[in-house]
Amino acid sequence: MSFNAVKGHIPMTYNHTAAAAIAEGDVVVVGGMLGVALNAAAIGEIAVLQIAGEANLPAVNGAAFTAGLGGVWDVSANSGAGYLDDANASPATGDISGAVTVLETVTTSVAGQLVPVLLNQAPGTVN
């Protein structure tokens, strides 16, 4: 999947120790931050993540995004890979709120639709 970094990114190196490889463009959760992988990384390898700036993140089905508002990263959506939900979503355990600002209004999203966001450099709240 490709949820590519767009522009104005701030990179962070990340020692990938999770259970599966990271593909370029994957969204990676690091504490309360969301990062977009700028390179592929196998377990134990270093990935470079975009942790601030503009990016396109995949959305859940049926969300209504409003430009200027935040979103909730639903960690259980998309078979555990995560999808972005709108600011009105009730975060479940492990979901991250406050990590992004939506840049474009989307009336009703379809699953996997890319939504332009600003990744907030400050960590969001892990619920």
The residue type of 119 is: L
The confidence score (pLDDT) of residue 109 equals 96
CB 77 within 8 A of CB 50: no
The residue type of 48 is: V
pLDDT per position as a tens digit, 63-107: 999 999 999 999 999 988 899 999 999 999 999 999 999 999 999
| Tokens linked to 23 | 């593909």
> 2 pLDDT exceeds 50?
no
Sign of the alpha-carbon torsion through 78, 55, 32, 12: positive
pLDDT per position as a tens digit, 63-75: 999 999 999 999 9
Model pTM score: 0.88
> 18 pLDDT exceeds 90?
no
pLDDT band of 8, cuts 50, 70, 90: low
